Amino acid sequence: MEMREFDSPIQNTWCPGCGNFSILAAAKQAMFELVKSGELKPEQIVMSSGVGCHGKISDFIKINGFYCLHGRVPPPIMGIKVANQLLKVIAFSGDGDSYDEGVSHLIHAARRNLDVAFIVHNNQVFALTTSQVTPTTPLGFKTKSAPKGSFEVPLNPLHLMLSCGATFVARGFTGEIPHLRSLILQAIRHRGFGFVDVLQDCRTFNPTLEKFKPKVYDINKEGHNVGDFAAAWERAKEWDNRIPIGLFYKVEKEIYEKQLLGDRVLVDEKPLPSVQNLLKEFM
C-alpha cells in the first residue's frame, strides 16, 4: 500500500502553517509504518478525535473513524476496545477537549490502562472558537474569555497523567516531526495507555513555534531513565528555560481489556440462545 491511500478526499481547512499539519503528517507516517511492516492491517486501525481544530483530523485520514462529541474521546474508544480488543485505536484530542470538557474521562482511561494511543494537540488555547482560555493557557495570556489576561494556574498534563497511573507518558513538539512520529509509533506499540501531549503551534491565536524551538530538548538523549517515576515527575516540572520533550515514563502493567475480558472478542461471540434456565431460577 502507498501512504497516500490514507489521504481523504476532504479539503483541509486548518490555517496555513497550523501545527496540526505536523501531527497529521506524523500520525499518517506512523500508521503507514505499522501497515507496511505487517504489524497491522489498515482495517484493524480505528482513529478517533474530539471537537475543536484537532478533531478535523478524523476527516483528513481515510481510515475507520469515530468522530466524537466535544471532550468525549475516551468513552467511545473504551467501548470499541471492549467490543473488539483486536482493533488498534489511535485517538486524538485537544487541550480544551480533554483537559477541560472531558478531563474526567481522560483520568479514568489512564487509570484503567486502556490499551490505546492518546495524542493531545495542546495549543494552549481554544482556537476554533476564536481564542478562549483552556486549562493549559499560560498565566497572563489574553484571550476573548480572559481579556485582562488569564489568572488561572495552568494544568500540567504530564503531572496529571503520571498521577493517574498512565503507563506511557510522553511529550512531542510540532516543530520536530520525525521525533513526534517516533513518539506516536511508540505510543501505539505500547501495550497500555500511550499518552502523548503535543506542544502544538497555533499560527493564528498562539504562535509558539519560534518561542519553543530554542528551548526544546529531548530528554531521552540526556540519559533520562524512563522507568524512574520520580525522575519523570522532576523532568515534567521544567518549563521556563528549557522545555523537555520525549518519553518521560513507561511501565508495563496489565491492560484494562485483558482484566475485563481475558482473550474474549465480544463482537465475535454468539449471544445466549435461550434464557430458559435463567427464568427457571425465579420459579
Partner 1 sequence: MQDISFVIGGQAGDGVMRTAELLGKTFNRLGLFSFVINDYGSLIRGGHNFCKVRAASRQVWLHRESVDLIAAINQDTISKHKDELTEGGGVLFDSDVAKYEGPHTPLPLPITTMVKQAAGIPIMKNSVIIGAISYLYGIPLDLVNEILTWAYGARADKNIELAKIAYSHAEKNFEQILKVEQVKRPPTPFISGAETVALGAVKAGMKLYITYPMTPSTAILNYVGPNQDELGIVLVHPENEIGVANMMLGAAYAGVRTMAATAGGGFALMQEAFSMAGQAEIPSIFVVGQRLAPAVGVPTYTSQADLRFVLHAGHGEFPRIVVAPGDPEEAFVNAGEAVNLAWKYQTPAIILVDKHLLESYMSIGIDEGKVKIEPADMAESSAGEYKRYRFTDSGVSPMAFPGKPGAIVKVTSYEHDEDGYAIETPDGIENMQKKRLRKMALIEQDLKNRETVKIHGDPKTDNMVVAWGSTKGAILEAMMLLKNPLKFMQVLYLSPFPDWEVSKHLESAKNVVLVEGNLTGQLGSLIAEHTGHHIKNTVLKNDGRPFDPVLLAGKLEEAFGWK
Q: Which residues bind partner 1 (CB under 8 A)?
A: 8-10, 41, 43-44, 46, 51, 56, 58-59, 62-69, 72, 74-80, 82-84, 86-87, 104-105, 107-108, 260-261, 264, 266-267, 269, 271-272, 274-280, 282-283
CA distance linking residue 215 with residue 71, whole number of Å: 30
Residue closer to partner 1 by CB (options 108, 179) is 108
Q: Provide, rounded to whole angstroms, the least separation between the CB of residue 63 and partner 1.
A: 6
Nearest of 195, 212, 185, 60 to residue 124 by alpha carbon: 212
Beta carbons within 8 Å of 217's beta carbon, 6+ residues apart: 242, 243, 244, 245
Kindly state the smallest distance separating residue 195's Cβ from partner 1, in Å.
17
Output 6 or 195, the one with its CB closest to partner 1.
6
What cell does 83 get?
Answer: 467490543
Is the CB of 41 or the CB of 142 nearer to partner 1?
A: 41
Residues 161 and 249: beta-carbon distance below 8 Å: no
Residues forming beta bridges with residue 92, ordered by sequence position: 49, 119
Shortest Cβ 231–partner 1 spacing (Å): 30
Query: Cell for 66?
Result: 469515530
At its nearest, how many Å lie between partner 1 and the CB of residue 281? 8
CB-nearer residue toward partner 1: 64 or 132: 64
| Of residues 117 and 219, the one with the C-beta less far from partner 1 | 117
Q: SS3 of 118, please?
A: strand
Cα–Cα distances in Å, from 28 out to 132, 197, 206?
A: 29, 17, 25
- Smallest gap from residue 182 Cβ to partner 1 (A): 26
CB-count burial class (<10 Å; 0-12, 13-18, 19+) for 99: buried
Cβ proximity to partner 1: between 50 and 135 the closer is 50
Minimum distance of partner 1 from residue 268's CB (angstroms)? 9
Residue 17: count other Cβ atoms within 10 Å of its Cβ: 14
